[in-house]
Structure formats: structure tokens, C-alpha cells
Structure 1
Amino acid sequence: MQPASYAARRTRLDGLAISLILVCCAIWGVNQVVVKLTLPDVPPLMQAGLRSAIAAALLWALAAHRGIVLLSRDGTGWPGIAAGVLFGLEFVCLYIGLQYTSASRLVVFLYLAPFVVAIGMPFISPAECPTRRQVVGLCAAFVSVAFAFREGLAASAPQQWLGDGLAMLAGLLWGATTLTIRATSLAQTSPERTLFYQLAVSAPVLLAGAGLSGETMAWPPGTLALGSIVFQSAVVAFASYLGWFWLIRHYPATRVSSFTFLTPVFGLGFGVLLLGEELTPGLAVALAGVAIGIWLVNRR
């Protein structure tokens, strides 16, 4: 039997939820910069695999300390494996796709995920059927993100269609992961167990992908590489994902997912601050559009 706190589900986003979502989006935005800086030392799939493996170990230690059972025969095994496979394949598609298309194009297609959640949730929970206003808000946020990346969208490269297709598939997989969690027994289990399934299953998937693609890691790793892996493991894959699955467990998935449109905008902002990239008027316009879209999705 789950604790009462797990059984509670809110119908609207409160201040705690919005604050936690904003923190997650900011972390995921800066993570794009961190991954980019680390690529010369640690290739992408290996980065993702190592962070999943280390974060799974951290989560196991936390669960042992708090007396949380992560593995038991309670009907969550197969749904957990399915969610973990979807989670791992999402990152395989993302990082392979980066070899064929630009990051700006890829991130736009990735954020088809909120639409997947909005379309799928009415079949799981009729109470979360999106209204016409919410659909308009999702479209406004997506168009705003696409506008911010319009230069990347205008670029052309050989086999770009393959990278774009993989990015779209990654977005579908992300949305499918969220729907799997809400539609199965994972919706009634703890966020710690849900996250552990994803990390423990995705780690071998990602590391196997790194091996099959011939990725090699510089040895011994430098200070930047070590710091990056620690950040990606402890902050991104452990802390922020744990917060994300807690949000999906306790709040309407469509409303929560709409805020993820802020992630690429945060990524652009951190690129300006940390990499010295140009701050353009398009970024300000995109941020305003995303804010309007999120307001339409979540307003009373």
C-alpha cells in the first residue's frame, strides 16, 4: 500500500509545481551547454550511459537510506522495463540524430513531445482532455521555439532528413514514456521506483549504443569531463528527473509538459551567458511567445 502522499493528485499547478518545473527546465537547458563542452573528452552516448548508471547507483543508495523498496513483485516490473527502454531509445535517437542535423533543428522536433502527451492523455484520463484554448497555447509555444531557431531551420546539410526524423522519433518516445508512466501501475508507485526503472534499464541500452558506434573516452579524463559527468549524473539524471517524475505523478501531465517548451529557450540563454553566443531579438520574442502559450494552457 502506497503512502497517502503518493495517492494525492492535484488538478492544477500550484506554486511548488511551477517552481520545480522551472528549475528542471533551467537544469536541462544548461545541460545542453555542458554536454557540448564535454564532447571532446567524452562522446555523447557514453555521457548519457554513464550518467544513467551513476544516477541509478545514487538512487539505490538514497532508497536504501530511506527504506524505499525499488524492486518487488507488485506489477510494475514490465511497465518499468518498457518505460526504461523508451527512455534509453530516446537518447540514442537524439545523439545519433546530432550527427546528421543541427542541434537547433533537433531540439525543435524533440518538443513534439507535449503534443504527444496532450493527444494521448484523454485516452488515459478523460479529465485531462485538452481544451481548444490549451491546444492553441501548445501551438503558440511550439511556433515560438521554432522561431527562435529559424536560422537552424533554414540550414541544409546532406542526410539532414535522417537527423530530423530521428529527432521526431525522440520526441515521440519522450511523450510515450510519459504516457506509459500515467497509463500503467507506475502511476501508483513512488517517483523513486519509476526513476530507477528508467535509469537502470536505459544505462545498458545507452552504453551498448556507445560500444556499437565505436565511441571511445579520453583517458585519464580531465577535470572538466569529471565535473560534467558528476553534474549530469547527480543534478540532471538524479535530482531533476526525480523531481520530474514526482510532478508527473502528482499533477496533470499536459500542463506539466507544456512548461518543457522553456528548456530550449533556457538553453539559448545559457549559451549566451556561458559560451558567448549572440543574444538576438528572436530569443526575446520566442520567450514571450512561450510564456503566452504556457499561460493559455494553464490559466483558469
Structure 2
Amino acid sequence: MNLTLNRSRSLKSSLLLIAPFFLWGTAMVAMKGVLSQTTPFFMAGIRLVPAGILVLLVSWLLKRPQPQGIKAWLWISLFALLDGAMFQGFLAAGLTETGAGLGSVIIDSQPLIVALLSCWLFSEIIGFWGWIGLGFGIFGISLIGLPKQWFDDLLYSQTISITFNALDLLNSGELLMLLASLSMAVGTVCIRYVSRHADPVVATGWHMILGGIPLFFMSGIWESNQWANINLQGWLSLGYSTVFGSAIAYGIFFYLASKGNLTSLSSLTFLTPVFALSFGNLFLNEVLTSWQWIGVSLTLISIYLINQREIIGKQLHYLRVKFLVLSKEH
């Protein structure tokens, strides 16, 4: 009986850990699918503000405490700027120039940044295999985000022709996704400080609302016809991204982030591009280049190494000890 209960709890815990990454991956596909009918900043705002209201409503029903004091609101405001306005703004703008699957892979390089920041700020140990994983990740993200011509020149020519327009680089979807990844990584680390002064679930709701307001403001200034061309399927896609891809996914993720090991939890985002690439190929017919597929593979390997670094180290230590014992016996 106890074994059955333990298995049931373990299954529920695993599903809870996986849920945000499944929802984020599928939400990326939904957002990409509706972008032809709306504008990026409006879509980003829609994804945040209604989701924030929903999270606050649920937290009110659960009687979770509201933020108290200037420090709580300052940390929530910083959190809103980083993970709300900047992350969602860069993400939505980047989706106009890149695919949902590829964009998800680039964004989910953020565990590499989180690992470094957590090591520096919270003394979380990266270890040998973690550093190896970081190296794989940097190389993988380079293959995904840098121009294909650079790697073709490196492989097939004796010289590398690095010619690009700075404005084109700034407007590239890959760079915007990398900026989104950086924003989310810093926001993920920020939640540790936020949770010292406010309930993490309530803070998540407020950061969505506060982060979404400037996105609507920018949409009002620079965009037009934000909702005129959205059909029923488009509104359903926006609704899915808002309720499931934001309210539920972020509520679960930042609650877990406030309690557990940031490096290990954040590294589970390797699941997000798997879901995004799968559903992007299924619904949007997205195809990656051979270099990008290699980059995707290296990135997933790197995040696996970071997430499993302690287990790998212990297993290798056990095998080394066992080998030494057997050697002495013979």
C-alpha cells in the first residue's frame, strides 16, 4: 500500500516538474501560429496581463498573502521588468524572424546562464561535468544562432568570411531569442530574492501584470491592427498561451524555483525544445538546417550533463572504486 502511494506521489511530482516545459513548448507553437494575424508586442501583453490576473485570483482564493513593504514591490518590479516585459517582448519579436522550435531551443539555453549565476550568487556547485555541459551548450548555441555561412567557410574554406550588417544582426530572430533567454535566466535567479519578501505565486501574478503594461504601451505606439485580423482559431491559440503557457506554467515553475536547486530545475527546460520542435514540425512544418540540428543536439546534451552532473560524478566514482577493488583482488 505504501509502495503504491509512494509511486503515485512520485508520478505526480514528475508530472508537476514536466508540466511547465510541455506547456511552454506547445505555447511557442501556438504563438507562432497566430503571429500572422496579430502583432508581437500586443501578443506578448495578452499573454501576460490576463494570466497575471488569473494567477492573482487563484492566489486570493487560496488566501496567499499579498506583498508587504517597499522591498517586496521593488523586487517584484525588477522581476516584472526582466521576466515580464523584456523576456516576453524579446520572445514575441524574435518569433517573427525565427521558428517556434528553433526559438525554443535558443531560449532554453538559459539554464547555462542560470548555472553560472547560481554558482556565483548561491554557491551552487557546477562540478566537472557541469562545466563540460556548459562548454557543449555554448558551442551548440553558436551553431544554432550564428550565420550558417561562417561554419561552411570554416569547414570547406581556408578563410572565414565574416561580413554582416550590424543592423541585420540586431534584427535577427536568433539574437532576439538569445536576449529573451538572458532576460529569463536573470529573472529565474531574481525569484530567489523576490521570495524572501513576497509569496512566489502572488509575485508571479503581479510580475505578469506589471510586465505586461509596458508591452501594451509599446504596442499602442508602434503597432496597429493588433486584433482586427484574429480569427476564432487565433483567439483560441492566444487563450492557450495565456492560460496554460503563462498562468499555469509560470505559477508552477516559479513556485518550484523559489524552493529548489535553480541549476537542476532550470536544466529541465531541455524538455521544452523537444516539445516545441515536435509540435512545430507537426503543425507548422518547420525544418532546421543540418548545422542547427547539430547545435540542438549539443545543447540538449549540455543541459542533460548539467542536470545530471552530480549523479554522473557519483556513478563514475563508484565505478572507479569498484575497479580499484577488483584490481587489488587480482
Q: Say whether the fold is shared (TM-score over 0.5).
A: yes
Deviating more after overlay: 238-247 vs 161-170? 161-170
Inter-CA distance 288–29: structure 2 relative to 1 (3 Å threshold) = same
**Preserved CA contact (<8 Å) 2:140 2:296:** yes
Quick check: 1:255 aligned with 2:264?
Answer: yes
Inter-CA distance 140–123: structure 2 relative to 1 (3 Å threshold) = closer
Quick check: 1:48 aligned with 2:56?
Answer: no
**Preserved CA contact (<8 Å) 2:267 2:306:** no
**Preserved CA contact (<8 Å) 1:29 1:263:** yes
Quick check: 1:25 aligned with 2:21?
Answer: yes
1:125-136 equivalence runs, <5 A = 125-126=122-123, 128-136=124-132
% of aligned pairs identical?
20
Question: 2:212 maps to which residue?
Answer: 203
How many Å apart are 1:215 and its aligned residue?
3.5
**Preserved CA contact (<8 Å) 1:137 1:297:** no
How many Å apart are 1:153 and its aligned residue?
4.4
Question: 2:148 maps to which residue?
Answer: 154
Give the counterpart of 2:66 among 57, 66, 70: 70
Give the counterpart of 1:270 among 257, 261, 279: 279
How many Å apart are 1:271 and its aligned residue?
1.3
Secondary structure (helix, strand or coil) at the match of 1:40 reads: helix
Question: 2:6 maps to which residue?
Answer: none
Question: 2:119 maps to which residue?
Answer: 122
**Preserved CA contact (<8 Å) 2:25 2:104:** no
Quick check: 1:179 aligned with 2:175?
Answer: no
Quick check: 1:190 aligned with 2:199?
Answer: yes
Give the TM-score taking structure 2 as reference length. Answer: 0.73
Question: 2:92 maps to which residue?
Answer: 95
Inter-CA distance 84–292: structure 2 relative to 1 (3 Å threshold) = closer
How many Å apart are 1:69 and its aligned residue?
2.7
CA distance in 1, matches of 2:142, 2:104: 9
Superposed CA offset, 1:167-208 (max 9, x none): 3332221111112122x2424643312211321211102111
1:260-299 equivalence runs, <5 A = 260-277=269-286, 286=296, 290=300, 293-298=303-308, 299=310
Inter-CA distance 145–122: structure 2 relative to 1 (3 Å threshold) = closer
CA distance in 1, matches of 2:212, 2:223: 17
How many Å apart are 1:278 and its aligned residue?
5.1
How many Å apart are 1:107 and its aligned residue?
4.9
Give the TM-score taking structure 1 as reference length. Answer: 0.80
CA distance in 2, matches of 1:284, 1:252: 29
CA distance in 2, matches of 1:175, 1:285: 20
2:127 partner amino acid: T
CA distance in 1, matches of 2:112, 2:288: 28
How many Å apart are 1:80 and its aligned residue?
0.6
How many Å apart are 1:234 and its aligned residue?
0.9
How many Å apart are 1:157 and its aligned residue?
8.2
CA distance in 2, matches of 1:193, 1:96: 27
Secondary structure (helix, strand or coil) at the match of 1:195 reads: helix
Deviating more after overlay: 18-27 vs 235-244? 18-27
1:135 partner amino acid: W
Question: 1:113 maps to which residue?
Answer: 110
**Preserved CA contact (<8 Å) 2:108 2:272:** no
Secondary structure (helix, strand or coil) at the match of 1:76 reads: helix
2:191 partner amino acid: I
Question: 2:318 maps to which residue?
Answer: none
CA distance in 1, matches of 2:177, 2:33: 21
